[in-house]
Amino acid sequence: MSLLSLNQMKTSIGQYHVLHDVTFDVPEGGVFVLLGRNGAGKTTTLRSIMGLWRPSPGSVTFRGEDISGLHASEIARKGISFVPENMGIFGGLTVEENLVLATARGKFDPQRLKRIYALFPALEQFWTKQAWSLSGGQKQMLAVARAIIEPRELILVDEPTKGLAPAIIDGMAEAFAEIGADTTILLVEQNFNFAKRLGQGLAVIDDGRVVHTGTMPEFAADTALQEQLLSLSA
C-alpha cells in the first residue's frame, strides 16, 4: 500500500481552479519527486496535502485514511511535516526556540538532536542566535531540521535549493539522502540535477494535472521526454 495517495485531487483558490485532476501515489521510503514548470501547481499540491488549502473531499489518503478535510494541525499530528518554499522559519525566535516549538512536549530527544547537529553543524554553532540573522542556507537547514526534530512518516519539501549556493546545495542533497533512508520525502523541485540525485519515483505536473509518473532512472535517461514535459534541453 502507498504511504500517500492523491486521487483526482482538485483545489480552488478563490475563483481560480488551480488543480484539476492530480493523481499519484507516494510509496513508503525514499524520495519521491514532483516536477513541473513554474506555475504548474506543485506548491499548491503540497499545500493541499498539508491542509493549508482545502482539496476536494476524499482525494488525499495517508496510510489509507482520508485526510482531505482535516485541519493542518491535525494532519501534522498524523506524522506529516512541511518545509515551505519560503522556509517558514520564525525570524524573531532563536534556532533553539524554532526547534523546540516543533517538538511534541517541548523537550528534545537527545539522539535526534545529535543527528541534527551531525547533519547541520551550523545549527549547533548558531543555537542561541535569532533565526533572522542566519544566512539563506542556514535558514533552509533550520527549516529541514525542524521537520525532522520529531519522528515523522512523511516530509513535504518545497524547492529547498531555491536561491542557494552550489556548495550548500551539495550539502543539502547529502542531508536529504540520509533523511530519506528512514523517512519518506515528497520533494518539489525545479532543479532537475538535484532531483535526479535524490529521487527514486517521480510525477510531473503541468497546468494542474499530472502528465507523467514513473521512475527517476527512466525519466533521467529520456531526454526527449524531459524536453517535452519540462522544457529541459539535453
- 118 lies in the site for another protein, by CB under 8 A: no
Burial of 1 (0-12, 13-18, 19+ CB in 10 A): exposed
Contact residue for another protein among 81, 140, 161, 184 (CB under 8 A): 81
SS3 169: helix
Rounded Cα gap, residues 233 and 4, in angstroms: 32
Rounded Cα gap, residues 8 and 11, in angstroms: 10
Q: How far is the CB of 215 from another protein (least distance, A)?
A: 30
Q: Which residues contact 164 (CB under 8 A, 6 or more apart)?
A: 136, 137, 140, 172
- 72 lies in the site for another protein, by CB under 8 A: yes
- 88 lies in the site for another protein, by CB under 8 A: yes
Q: How far is the CB of 118 from another protein (least distance, A)?
A: 23
- 114 lies in the site for another protein, by CB under 8 A: no
Q: Based on CB atoms, which residue is closest to another protein, 37 or 54?
A: 54
- 13 lies in the site for another protein, by CB under 8 A: no
- 71 lies in the site for another protein, by CB under 8 A: yes
Is residue 96 within 8 Å of residue 127, measured between CB atoms?
yes
Residues that bind another protein in the complex, under the rule CB under 8 A: 50, 52, 71-73, 76-77, 81-82, 84, 88, 90-93, 97, 100-102, 104, 106, 130, 132, 146
